[in-house]
């Protein structure tokens, strides 16, 4: 029987993270191209109740390890459990999210399985020869590599969030559930608590729209203007490294090579020049709007829409227009 494609899920605060739906949809597409099934390995506390829902996104069967010890990702606990389940399943390929936890998990799994992990994959195809080939950005997106694995080696790929299309197959489709048998090791460290940001801010890596400010903002206080626009658009606020290094924004807001990689539908870059290290973090946004008073700023070579204007005039005017539209 043909081997199945397998995904590793990510579960937080009582539900699967959106990126898990994206990975499942991509897994389904690959499984269909290979003419095989799609299974998932799901670890978490209280995860069994939600696991059948993965069927909507194309998963046929979920191997669940449901235990209070699995509430938070801990490498020393998750890696041996997942590695053991994968050994039993012997899948054709393994896909997981290239999230903060997924990158850590993927690298460790690759070492355990003696398989090369392709991190942060942005495109996957199945060739006429039935081989999986994956596209991967190198040197902060300056070039791309297409890779394939040797015969008999299961491809292991982490998928960049917000890149793959989520495919909702059928609301009523349920995945079959089976309890996976793998011993849960005693953790050598434990998470005491997670302090969630309760400000109601939209998480950057999951945001559909991002309004991002750079050195052109001139001062921390001026970000109130971007917060206002973001509030109207339901957007998250990001920043360039120059803004973070100036102490105007926290590092958690930084977009770029040494910050977060984001792929929103709309990225509005305000007072950002468009250095290669910044583009490495947002260059895959579906639409890029740049606001900059310098017509020669490099960001305009990447932008779909360029506004050559003083941001202190343009941003409040745009916010007013959005407000008017929303009230009309």
Q: Which residues bind ligand FAD (CB under 6 A)?
A: 214-216, 240-243, 254-259, 271-273, 275, 277-278, 281, 291-294, 297, 310-312
Q: Whole-angstrom Cα distance, residue 273 to residue 300?
A: 9
Q: Measured from the CB atom, is 25 or 205 closer to ligand FAD?
A: 205
Q: Measured from the CB atom, is 133 or 215 closer to ligand FAD?
A: 215
For the bound state, the minimum distance from the C-beta of residue 215 to ligand FAD, rounded and expressed in Å, comes to: 3
How far CA 187 is from CA of 65, 69, 78, 249, 297, in Å, comes to 16, 9, 10, 35, 51
Question: Residue 57's closest CA among 177, 170, 197, 189?
Answer: 170
For the bound state, the minimum distance from the C-beta of residue 291 to ligand FAD, rounded and expressed in Å, comes to: 6
Query: Coil, helix or strand for 103?
Result: helix
Cβ atoms of residues 283 and 226 within 8 Å: no
How far CA 89 is from CA of 41, 154, 210, in Å, comes to 10, 12, 40
For the bound state, the minimum distance from the C-beta of residue 164 to ligand FAD, rounded and expressed in Å, comes to: 23
For the bound state, the minimum distance from the C-beta of residue 200 to ligand FAD, rounded and expressed in Å, comes to: 25
For the bound state, the minimum distance from the C-beta of residue 207 to ligand FAD, rounded and expressed in Å, comes to: 17
For the bound state, the minimum distance from the C-beta of residue 145 to ligand FAD, rounded and expressed in Å, comes to: 21
Tokens of 283: 């260059």
Burial string for 284-317 (b: 16+ CB within 10 Å, else e) reads bbeebbbbbeeeebbbbebbeebbeeebbebbee
CA terminus-to-terminus distance, the chain? 59
Cβ atoms of residues 110 and 75 within 8 Å: no
Q: Measured from the CB atom, is 154 or 283 closer to ligand FAD?
A: 283
Mode of pairing for the β-strands spanning 132-138 and 61-66: unpaired
Tokens of 260: 């977060």
Query: Coil, helix or strand for 259?
Result: coil
For the bound state, the minimum distance from the C-beta of residue 257 to ligand FAD, rounded and expressed in Å, comes to: 4
Q: Measured from the CB atom, is 121 or 282 closer to ligand FAD?
A: 282
For the bound state, the minimum distance from the C-beta of residue 259 to ligand FAD, rounded and expressed in Å, comes to: 4
Q: Measured from the CB atom, is 62 or 262 closer to ligand FAD?
A: 262
Q: Measured from the CB atom, is 195 or 296 closer to ligand FAD?
A: 296
Tokens of 166: 């989520």
Q: Measured from the CB atom, is 55 or 281 closer to ligand FAD?
A: 281
Query: Coil, helix or strand for 153?
Result: coil
Q: Measured from the CB atom, is 85 or 291 closer to ligand FAD?
A: 291
Q: Measured from the CB atom, is 37 or 271 closer to ligand FAD?
A: 271
Cβ atoms of residues 148 and 250 within 8 Å: no
For the bound state, the minimum distance from the C-beta of residue 210 to ligand FAD, rounded and expressed in Å, comes to: 13
């Amino acid at each position: 029987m043909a081997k199945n494609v397998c995904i590793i899920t990510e579960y937080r605060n009582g539900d699967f993270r959106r990126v898990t739906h994206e990975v499942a949809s991509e897994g389904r597409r690959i499984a269909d191209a290979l003419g095989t099934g799609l299974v998932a390995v799901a670890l978490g506390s209280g995860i069994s109740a939600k696991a059948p829902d993965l069927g909507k996104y194309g998963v046929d069967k979920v191997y669940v390890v449901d235990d209070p010890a699995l509430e938070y990702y801990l490498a020393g606990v998750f890696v041996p459990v997942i590695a053991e389940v994968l050994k039993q399943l012997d899948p054709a390929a393994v896909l997981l999210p290239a999230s903060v936890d997924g990158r850590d998990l993927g690298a460790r799994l690759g070492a355990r399985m003696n398989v090369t992990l392709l991190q942060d994959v942005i495109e996957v195809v199945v060739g006429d020869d039935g081989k999986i080939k994956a596209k991967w950005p190198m040197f902060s997106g300056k070039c791309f590599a297409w890779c394939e694995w040797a015969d008999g080696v299961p491809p292991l790929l982490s998928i960049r969030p917000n890149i793959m299309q989520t495919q909702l197959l059928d609301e009523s489709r349920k995945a079959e559930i089976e309890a996976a048998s793998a011993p849960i090791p005693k953790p050598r460290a434990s998470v005491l608590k997670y302090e969630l940001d309760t400000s109601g801010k939209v998480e950057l890596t999951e945001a559909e729209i991002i309004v991002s400010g750079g050195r052109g903002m001139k001062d921390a206080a001026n970000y109130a203007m971007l917060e206002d626009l973001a509030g109207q658009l339901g957007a998250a606020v990001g920043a360039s490294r120059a803004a973070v290094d100036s102490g105007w924004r926290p590092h958690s807001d930084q977009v770029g090579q040494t910050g977060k990689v984001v792929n929103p539908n709309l990225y509005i870059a305000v007072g950002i020049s468009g250095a290669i290290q910044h583009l490495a973090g947002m260059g895959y946004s579906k639409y890029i709007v740049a606001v900059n008073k310098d017509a020669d700023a490099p960001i305009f070579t990447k932008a779909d829409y360029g506004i050559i204007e003083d941001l202190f005039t343009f941003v409040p005017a745009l916010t007013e227009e959005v407000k008017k539209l929303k009230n009309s």
